[in-house]
Amino acid sequence: MKATRPLSVVHLAARTHVVREQADNPANEFETINVIATERLATSAAAHGVKRFVFLSSIKVNGETTAKGGQFHSEDIPAPEDEYGRSKLEAERRLRDIAEKSGMEFVIVRPPLVYGPGVKANFRSLIALCDTSLPLPFYNLSSKRSLVFLGNLIDLLQTCLRHDDAPGNIILVSDGEAVSVCQLIRSLREALGRDSRLVPFPRFLLRYAAVLTNNVSGLTKLTQPLEVNIAQTRQILGWRPPVDFLDALQVTVDAYHDEKNR
Residue 65's identity, in one-letter code, is: T
Given 84, 115, 139, 256, the catalytic residue: 84
Look at strands 170-172 and 113-115 and give their pairing.
unpaired
Alpha carbon of 250 to those of 14, 138, 196: distances in Å? 27, 21, 15
Distance CA 216, CA 222 (A): 10
Contacts 24+ apart (CB under 8 A), 234-238: 236/163, 236/165, 236/166, 236/169, 236/171, 237/156, 237/159, 237/160, 237/163, 237/165, 237/166, 237/171, 238/163
Helix (H, G, I), strand (E, B) or coil at 245: helix
Alpha helices (H) in 36-120, listed in sequence order: 37-47, 83-102
The 10 Å CB-count burial string (b at 16+, else e) for 134-145 is eebbbbbbebbb
- The length of the chain, given as a count of residues: 262
Active site includes 84?
yes
Residue 38 and residue 96 in contact, taking contact as beta carbons nearer than 8 Å = no
Q: Which residues are catalytic?
A: 84
